[in-house]
Structure 1
Amino acid sequence: MGETKKNILITPLNWGLGHATRCIPIIRELENNGFTPIIASDGIALEMLRKEFPHLQTLELPSYQIEYAKNGALFKWKMIQNSPKMIRAILQEKKIVSKWIEEYTLKGIISDNRLGVFSKKVPSVFITHQLNVLTGNTSWITSKLHQNIIKKYTECWVPDVAGTPNLTGKLGHLDNPYLKIKYIGPLSRLQKKLVPKKYDLLVMLSGPEPQRGILEDRLKTEAARFKGQVIFIKGKVESEQKTEIIENVTYYNFMNSSELEQAFNESELVLSRSGYTTIMDLAQLRKKAFFIPTPGQYEQEYLAKKLKREGLVPFAKQDNFKIENLLETELYRGLQTFNNNVDWENLFLIFK
């Protein structure tokens, strides 16, 4: 019985919701192509995917216990402090996954940035948009370390296009790519729909605490000063959905993909972090946006600067943001989609 099932383990990192949400289109396509995805993660990433795919088996992996510093300048130091916990989790993860290969007769593994989810016994794919990992003056070390991890995998899938223009810039493109890289194009779980406009602004929060909460407090005050209808999604995955309307602002704690797709399509402008998954979603939906990068997170700061330089999306630092900044979006083109038809069948041949 186990043999006929083509079980593929798919494991997003629990760091904000981005890694989990960009796995959604891959999980759907695995099912469309006759595979049985088994989802493994921890924390809110796992919660969110359970809500999205209640019919699929889910397993729990140890948490990397990633926390952000309250002060963006200490971001890197906090990560270094956390690294023993992370390394412990990665080693545990390795052991657990090697047991699961037998137990669930796995035919393959897809890891979205979980460094211990790998096996020599079955084809193992690593998903990342960061072939270079930006950490300021230590970027060269973190990038080398990351590339050495990627090298072990059968293939590395980068959710971007190979040429220019592209979305990731130097994050997802190497001068000397000795890795087995496949550019699979930007991934989004959302589709563009022509629906009547309901909201002038959609505020979408995500990412680990305490920074998510700090920005929520700040934007609540600013959203109240906005002239127009606002939908405000806090990005807190809880057991049940809560909504609250305060004057011109409708608050949600979280939304599933279909609700989010609807809300995005009904909104004129999006205010959010400059996380890569959000950028891919906005490109797919061809939306105008304004970004507030997570303080101290080099990758989000780099992406925000790149998209501003290209005349696509303006941004502001968290401490400086005022609702009036949104007027700048009129001078920018907004994100555009790439005509990108992934040949999933071909991509999944690795597991045959």
Structure 2
Amino acid sequence: MKNSAKNILVAPLNWGLGHATRCIPIIRELEKNGFTPVLASDGVALHLLQKEFPHLQSLELPSYEIEYANNGDDFKWKLIKNSPKMIEAILAEKKIVKKWIAEFDLQGIISDNRIGVYSKKIPSVFMTHQLNVLSGKTTWISSKLHQYFVKKFTECWIPDKKENPNLTGKLGHLKNSSLNLKYLGPLSRLEKKDLPIKYDLMIILSGPEPQRAFLEQKLIKEIKSFNGKILFIKGIIESEQKIDQDENVSYYNFMTSLEIETAFNESKIVLCRSGYTTVMDLAKLQKKAFFIPTPGQFEQEYLARRLKRNGFLPYAKQDDFVIKNLSEVSLYGGLPHLIKEIDWKQLFVLFERE
């Protein structure tokens, strides 16, 4: 893989599937612009990218071993308890990346929230929608710490608009900053298509265990009283796709990007987590939705609250949700359509060698 190819390392964090899926349009555009993406992650994020791009080189990075608490209130403390493992992984990935730069003749790096994947030797981009990292009373310190790491990168790309209306609010916008920020506009791997509606409700789950499984069990019970056709995508990446039909519900363990694109376009409303990648997909496809934020995940709770307050979409806490809540969807306007054409050529100039 040396020499002729202009190799760019693309490394999303393995935390749910959102970081990996929003890298998909970037990987596609790198290929269109004559670069060769080298994929790197761990766990389900790596499996997802391997399924999407079987022709590309993929490498394994150490896991941050992010574990979710069974109780959302304990989430922050679980993260703090796990931080030594995370620091170990970050130091390990720094060493590995140093080795890969020589081994794969890397010309640039795009890291989606992996703070150890950068180099002073080659242009390194950090992609995030969180310049402020919400953590309750400790938000100021978690944000300052995060910004300290972001500063080490050549550029920081934010998949949102700089001006209002935008999707991230205070997450992706700082009052004043010395960081080298570039607002790309929302990123989605999906395209809007004019397809006939096949499902009254699409449920798409994502995010780390055990919260994903808790929500799956809850919704399987709740949808028994739903009148209409349901598509239920569990968000479990396995080697083979499994499809089960139970009366009015079609269950899938996972879908490919193309299948998910069709499914979104064929569904009347969507029930899902309020992860930022999903927010960007819904905005692009102009789909109405209902959110159930992951318990204890401040960022998802903030996004759901903000989007409800702005009259875009309703939400409920996981413990409080009942299926009749879905009737609220029609009372909200849906997400704003924030189309921004990205000048990929200009964006990738950073990686052109002298």
> Under TM normalisation by the shorter chain, which class is it?
over 0.9
Distance 1:178 1:222 in 2: 48
Give the C-alpha shift of residue 334 in structure 1. 1.0
Q: Does 1:101 align with 2:101?
A: yes
The one-letter code matched in structure 2 to 1:13 is L
Distance 2:153 2:223 in 1: 45
Q: Does 1:222 align with 2:222?
A: yes
The one-letter code matched in structure 2 to 1:132 is N
Deviations 1:37-70 (A, max 9, x none): 0000000000000000010000000001111001
TM-score (norm 1): 0.99
TM-score (norm 2): 0.99
Deviations 1:202-230 (A, max 9, x none): 00000000000000000011122111000
Give the C-alpha shift of residue 112 in structure 1. 0.1
The one-letter code matched in structure 2 to 1:110 is I
Aligned to 2:346, the other structure's residue is in SS state helix
Distance 2:2 2:298 in 1: 44
Q: Where do residues 203-218 of structure 1 align in structure 2 (5 Å cutoff)?
A: 203-218=203-218
Aligned to 1:39, the other structure's residue is in SS state strand
RMSD: 0.6
Distance 1:215 1:184 in 2: 32
Distance 2:213 2:339 in 1: 36
Distance 2:166 2:159 in 1: 10
Give the C-alpha shift of residue 295 in structure 1. 0.4
Structure 2 counterpart of 1:192: 192
Structure 1 counterpart of 2:263: 263
Deviations 1:120-168 (A, max 9, x none): 0000000000000000000000000000000010000000000000000
What is the identity percentage for the equivalent residue pairs of Structure 1 and Structure 2? 68
Structure 1 counterpart of 2:115: 115
- Which 4+ runs in 1 deviate beyond 4 A? none
Give the C-alpha shift of residue 3 in structure 1. 2.0
Structure 2 counterpart of 1:288: 288
Give the C-alpha shift of residue 339 in structure 1. 2.0
The 8 Å contact of residues 129 and 158 in structure 1, kept in 2 or not, is answered as yes
Q: Does 1:272 align with 2:272?
A: yes
The one-letter code matched in structure 2 to 1:187 is L
The 8 Å contact of residues 237 and 253 in structure 1, kept in 2 or not, is answered as yes
Deviations 1:56-109 (A, max 9, x none): 000000001111001010010000011011000000000000000000000000
Q: Where do residues 74-223 of structure 1 align in structure 2 (5 Å cutoff)?
A: 74-223=74-223
Deviations 1:291-339 (A, max 9, x none): 0000010000000000000100000000010000000001001123212
Structure 2 counterpart of 1:304: 304
The 8 Å contact of residues 287 and 336 in structure 1, kept in 2 or not, is answered as no
Q: Does 1:324 align with 2:315?
A: no
Distance 1:339 1:14 in 2: 27
Distance 1:134 1:47 in 2: 29
Give the C-alpha shift of residue 4 in structure 1. 1.6
The one-letter code matched in structure 2 to 1:139 is T
Distance 2:170 2:62 in 1: 31
Distance 2:260 2:221 in 1: 23
Structure 2 counterpart of 1:253: 253
Distance 2:110 2:45 in 1: 15
Structure 1 counterpart of 2:30: 30
Q: Where do residues 4-19 of structure 1 align in structure 2 (5 Å cutoff)?
A: 4-19=4-19
Q: Which structure 2 residue ranges, 5 or more long, are not aligned? A: none
Aligned to 1:268, the other structure's residue is in SS state strand
The one-letter code matched in structure 2 to 1:288 is K
The one-letter code matched in structure 2 to 1:164 is N
Distance 2:55 2:300 in 1: 34
Aligned to 1:137, the other structure's residue is in SS state helix
Distance 1:58 1:3 in 2: 18
Distance 1:212 1:36 in 2: 34
Distance 1:38 1:294 in 2: 31
Instruction: Name which of structure 1's ranges 220-229 and 314-323 shifts more when overlaid on structure 2.
Output: 220-229
Report how many residues are paired. 352
Give the C-alpha shift of residue 177 in structure 1. 1.8
Distance 1:339 1:221 in 2: 38
Deviations 1:161-190 (A, max 9, x none): 000000000000000121000000100000
Q: Which structure 1 residue ranges, 5 or more long, are not aligned? A: none
Distance 1:230 1:224 in 2: 10
